[in-house]
Structure 1
Amino acid sequence: MKSILGDIQQVVMKYANIISKVLKVEVEIADVNLVRVAGTGIYKNGINRNMSGEGYVYKTVLKIGTPQIIHNPGENKLCKPCPKLHKCKEKFEMCTPIKLGNEIIGVIGLVCFSDEQKEHLMKDFDTYMEFLQQISEFISVTAYEKKEKSRKKTLLESLNLVIDKMDRGVIILNKSNRITHINKRAIEILNFVDNHFIYEIDVEEIAESVVGMHEYKLTIDNQNFHIVGNLYPMSLNENQFDRMIIFQDDKRLKDIVTGVSNTSKNICCDDILGECDRMLMLKKNLKKIALSSSTVLITGESGTGKEMFARAIHNEGNRKKEPFIAINCAAIPDALLESELFGYVKGAFTGASSSGKMGKFELANKGTIFLDEIGDMPLYLQTKILRVLQDRRIIKIGSNKLIDIDVRVIAATNKNLIKLIEENKFREDLYYRLNVIPFTIPPLRERILDTKVLVGNFVDKYTKLLDKQFSSILIDNEVWDIFYNYSWPGNIRELENTIEFMINMLGTDGRLTLDTVPNSIIHNERKIRERDKEICTLKEMEKNAIGKALEIYGASTQGKKAAAKKLGIGIATLYRKIEEYNLSK
């Protein structure tokens, strides 16, 4: 294996010749292994020969790292092991180490074979010694540059190797905007036939996209390519490696968009908890409409899980591999909502990004867009949404270019849109465009039988999340009575928050008791009971109680059994009373 000096042997030999001509003496330069790298005069024929058997002065220099001056070669104590002891032809020798940082990489030796050479050297010894040390430093600098160049070459080769194995497209540009490296994936994405990397490339940023990526137009050999990715400076102080573009193909971009915007992207119909008749029918209908591209309008009170149903519709359908983009129309100021939905072009308005921006409709192309709280959308935007639903095209702010889109729209609201139409706060024509497939989610109080399965799910979730170490959690009957009699105005969201609170309050016995139930629930449950009390006949009370129980628990056999148990009567008695009060369904 070559030494550091061996790698720059041609340069070292030039320096040796310069020293010899200036100082009029013979020069030899050895590396750390005592291999003669350069030599003049009688040493010229011995280049690349190992001097371990005779270079004892050089060994000392390499070991201690300080210059050595030998006035009487062959007689000096350093020469004792040398086979030329007492018969050395040299008259004078001086040598100095060559260092690379703190590492000694070689030695320069000056040798006189005549009294004239020695006399010439001794006349201005200090100057010549300084000159020798400067040459040593020059060689050291050359060695460093060679080593650094080799390191950079290895680094860049490794970089190219890694780049070639990346699943994203990568193009590296030099300072002249020419391609110096393009990986296989980039060639596949661009479908670029000629990959000799000699073309000049023009990079124009068109728009800000999503998840920190930007849209660029690349012009290569008069061909235009549109990509989404990032442009990075390489900062290697290397002309050939100035900037790097990393970009995605369309499919990969959609996977990223889906991953970022769809935090619950695996939610399917079976993940929706509910066993009452109404929920089973709802889930059955969900699977029916999932494969359709028709617009869906989901209505229901706040906290009933409208977004969860929207995600399930998306994931049960044939668009499940495409983006699901959700936007809350009530959470974004009116002034910003339009740009969020439709995007804008460069310089569209004061304060806009200099590169423009893609809107949510464009990002959701081929997939689903979920417009939550559609009832809070301002009227002027309702007009634009209606146009999108009719024409399946959008126009960015500041542009007049139509962009075709293929998006399934699912809207949701907890408001009464018919009432808003009567108040001129919602467009009637938009309502009918949205309400192609109406989907109403019942409040928790109308599916109270599902409380048990929901509570079980939330208990499992928060015991794990809060690291409560119990093999099982017991729930007192008094707690179930409170839960079944409470109206849950906040619906499933309120139930989940309640269970999280109760798990935090859980004692060492692992039991959820009345003491763990929030006071607001207990207080409101009592008020609800009092408000529901009305003066009526016993027959009416009985009929109302049975009707309410059937409404809550359902008319299935399982629901009737639960209703009978809650009413404190037998199942046969319940069937007789249903017939008596004409309550059969």
Structure 2
Amino acid sequence: MKTDLLMIKDELKKYAKTISKLFSMDVGICDKNLTRITGSGPQKIGEQIKGRANKKTLETKETTVILNPREDEICSGCSEKNSCLEVLEISTPIMYEGEIIGLISLVSFDENQKKRVLDNLKNYLDFVEQMAELISIRFIEYNENLEKTERENILSTILNTIQKGVLRFNKNKDITSINNFALKKIDLGRAIIGEKVFIESQNDFIMEQEIYKLKVQNKELLVLGKIFPFEAFGKNEKIFIFDDMNKVNEGIRELVETSNSVSLKNIIGESEFTKLLRERIKHVAPSKSTVLITGESGTGKELVARALHYHSDRRNSPFVVINCAAIPESLLESELFGYVRGAFTGADKNGRMGKFELANGGVIFLDEIGDMPLYLQAKILRVIQERKVTRIGSNRDIDLDIRIIAATNVDLERKILEKEFREDLYYRLKVIPFEVAPLRKRVEDILPITKNLIEKYNKITEKYINFIDTEVERLFLNYSWPGNIRELENVVEFMFNLSDDSDILSLSTIPEKLIEIKISDKDLKKDCYLSEKNDCLEDFENIEKKYIQKALEVFGKDTEGKKIIASKMNIGLTTLYRKLQKYKI
């Protein structure tokens, strides 16, 4: 970084003029060697600024004020002490990373000026120190701009050596830069700088990289790539790094990210079930046997699959995910098995690898296997039995070394009875069964998972929530969580969006549905002595109103009685008061 304040002398003139106008004193701005850069008064640019206050500031790195030159101790050794006409000296350092890069020097020769400054000295000193900080910031910005230009040139050189397409574009989708590899693939010449680029997701992922349709002018390419935010040079841009599908089909596993960061530490929870689940994953992971994971939606079945992959000897090999319910039935076969050139109308002229082939050497995760059509189930069965796959339109078998992990949230045995799922496939998949329990059956996991989610959303939202209100904890523990962990995460995210700058997740941010605690008939009769059966046939609000009224008679209408009622209803006292107001009790 350059440290010469002379580079921003034009800006320093403006600051010096502002300071001089406010103080009505002579102002000089100098560099760390006390060489004058700009200022007011008779002293010339380039001369050495004198004054004992300046020398003291260089020593202490703090603002120095000499109220009575000639009489102050600082001036005792000055050769010009007897001829000095100054009545006030102020010297303030301009700092960068703990070091002085210059000074603001103020000198007064007039007692009236001095009196005016001394009457409001603190405010004047605060102002000049703020001006010193502004100069420091402007100096840093100037250097950063120089560095940006240098980095731009270096980046351009590097990008042109990368054997992947790199394309930068702004918020208006205008191309701002492109490397030579991308130019060659798009084949339109450098005139495309400034042209619009359209990058459209094809809603397809191969080993965590997405397939896009890239369109510039009249050229369209199907590419595999990733989009990243690009703000390194203070620009609100994005960068797209891609490769064409030809190269992908030749050696895709060398081009995409195959690492998997989900390990046992990501299986959060303290329940007996979760502890046993972690132990079982650890024991089963090294095996090559097929795994079937069952459980309700949102319980974390894919997390289990990824942990099995991470702790196996295939952790550095592909982990390929296919959601059997998300892909149209007409496309599912080609997605799974791939196809050769000309296999069907609309097929890519270069052919395409299927998910099984892409997973070769690693793991394929068949999510929502229960929704796979019957005709494909027979082909999946063959792949499992023979460990071979054949592309559509080809007669050549491709040997597979893969581990198959399947998951479903439906009852496959019921589907077998309904003739919607093959029994032989079911038993081929269920070599090692895993059942992931719903959240309501492992209540001990709710708060640990919540705290983990709080850490996640603290990073995302840049908030600093460290605590959970006890009423919120109670509601979380008593809610049934039909959507399981996925629903819990949605609720936490919702609460983060409504939370203020405090460090606690409070009851005021919780979704209304969690506050509405249902009361069973048994509780009504036990706690409120309700005997008429017809009361239980009324709607919930009437039942709740009668419950509260009867409870007030039994436990009393004072604060202590209301606390007991709130406790029996498993709600907070604030919520009870809200219900009293609602029912006009």
Q: TM-score range by the shorter chain?
A: 0.3 to 0.5
TM-score of the aligned structures, taking structure 2 as reference length: 0.48
TM-score of the aligned structures, taking structure 1 as reference length: 0.48
Pick the structure with greater CA Rg: 1
